Structure 1
């Protein structure tokens, strides 16, 4: 069931909503206050049990806003459903989490980046943590994390310069480009990769960025323009799930038939460079443990280091 009607827009903002009543009004206010006003905003209530949909319904006086209520299918399928509902003329899309806040000029600034970069499939801004009451959290800790990107060059792991594009070899190894709330994607590019993979529960956005980066770079806007809300209900806090899905991204990306010969060479170099880096780091930790008399810890660390050296490619079973 859809309610409301979006007008002609250049940017679509897709917001999956699941039991987000506490924050959805603040999130929508940050969206509807954008200086780039040509927006199409679709909130998809994914079978919530709270009154979040009613809160959205109370804001439907803005003609750019649409509410869709559907059965629970998970975030990837919900993002795909929102993508399918965007008007044909909508050129760009942001997949906004229902509890995040965006600065008033986020859309305009990222549009400017893409206008200058026809080769890029998207553009991203920096996020920083906010708490449940929208106050800053962590003294800039998450923004520092986003800026601490790494890539393998000449066999060594090196920092990525602030403002440098994100490309396939970097995104394959790790995703520092989240939350998706701060990423503006070209509609044609996300359509070209078939949207989000519903086999993932928390890594669907990372997997999509990796697949997108085969088509072109993702340009950086090195400014904090997103409030990334942290609270007890964040799905990304499940460590075991994150490990399983990280391994799946590595295995599926490495062995994908979509890789060109150049992609395969870049992924191989990135993987081997990172494993050698981890071998060196953990071997040094083992030596420190041995010098301090912690023989058992030293043995465990060195065995772990050797395992990285032996891991010449991601295991295929990780991708199943």
Structure 2
């Protein structure tokens, strides 16, 4: 089967992944499902990642695109931009697929023609030790938001849509505008997947078909690093603007819940400045967005004030002085 007949385009964003890139690309070539085309986007790597890709270019299905560093979201979007395939898959350069990954997820989308995306479980590999991360029990099989979902459950659904473990219809990817860009290296994926999960039907395959490797060079926030502010909170306009009716009400409530979740993580890492900036950014972003948004702003600010006052001695003293 030639590249021109491919049904799935696979995009691998790369930034300084020379040591592990061949593992990821080899896992694509081992797929039992053969109707694919692979686009590797080198996002301004400073190592020899590009040289690691070149042997794979002997396969006519593989293409290399090089660009200046713009972040993983922009790299993924660049890889999709010139594609004509009807389905889109993403694989991070330090992850790998089991041979049946594409066959299983394409099959799930064929079985659920209304599903916007399909996702599998995965195995997290850390320091050589693997831990299976199945799809949450609440989202196995067919899933669609029905109004009964709370914040923690919705976050589990969004987290289950790991970029390396998901295949999305190209039409849905384009409708959502792709990944968040603007040099973001954390949360650019959940910015997309939260919007898909709120509005669309999803298919979950209850098999661990991805090996997700964690290492010191991961683009996500490291264990010891300050917890960055995800764009879903700093730029929530798309998440709110695409929802209507009960979904719109839930979207506003979820942002407040998610804000509390992220804020607590920041404060546990003593990232007080980041927490204050997040509170201000969310308040400004929500202000005047829709009828009733003022109550969301007030709720967010009250939550932020309460957590910040409780957890930082300096702010406790300020609060005590103000109350006198």
Q: 2:136 aligns with which of 130, 144, 147?
A: 147
Number of matched pairs: 262
* d(CA) in 2 for partners of 1:275, 1:75: 23
Q: Normalising by structure 1, report the TM-score.
A: 0.71
1:6: how far off? 3.9
| Compared CA separation, residues 92 and 254, structure 1 to 2 (3 A) | closer
**Cα-to-partner distance string for 1:32-64 (whole Å, 9 max, x where unaligned):** 111111111000111111111111111111111
Residue 181 (1) aligns with residue 164 (2): yes
1:100 is matched with which residue? 95
> Where does the alignment leave 5 or more consecutive residues of structure 1 unmatched?
149-159, 278-309
| Compared CA separation, residues 314 and 247, structure 1 to 2 (3 A) | farther
| Compared CA separation, residues 315 and 53, structure 1 to 2 (3 A) | farther
2:202 is matched with which residue? 218
* d(CA) in 1 for partners of 2:221, 2:259: 25
SS at match of 1:43: strand
Q: Normalising by structure 2, report the TM-score.
A: 0.71
2:283 is matched with which residue? none
| Compared CA separation, residues 235 and 167, structure 1 to 2 (3 A) | farther
1:85: how far off? 1.9
Between 31-40 and 214-223, report the one with greater CA deviation: 214-223
1:233 is matched with which residue? 217
Contact 2:18/2:49 (<8 A) preserved: yes
| Compared CA separation, residues 58 and 273, structure 1 to 2 (3 A) | closer
* d(CA) in 2 for partners of 1:246, 1:197: 7
**Cα-to-partner distance string for 1:239-266 (whole Å, 9 max, x where unaligned):** 66545217616x7169722221131133
**Cα-to-partner distance string for 1:81-137 (whole Å, 9 max, x where unaligned):** 111021x2x1101121011010111111101110111111100000111247xx4x2
1:197 is matched with which residue? 180
1:37-52 residue pairs with structure 2 within 5 A? Answer: 37-52=34-49
> Where does the alignment leave 5 or more consecutive residues of structure 2 unmatched?
262-295, 305-324
Q: 1:63 aligns with which of 60, 63, 77?
A: 60
Aligned-residue Cα RMSD (Å) equals: 3.3
SS at match of 1:25: helix
| Higher normalized helix content (fraction of residues) | 2
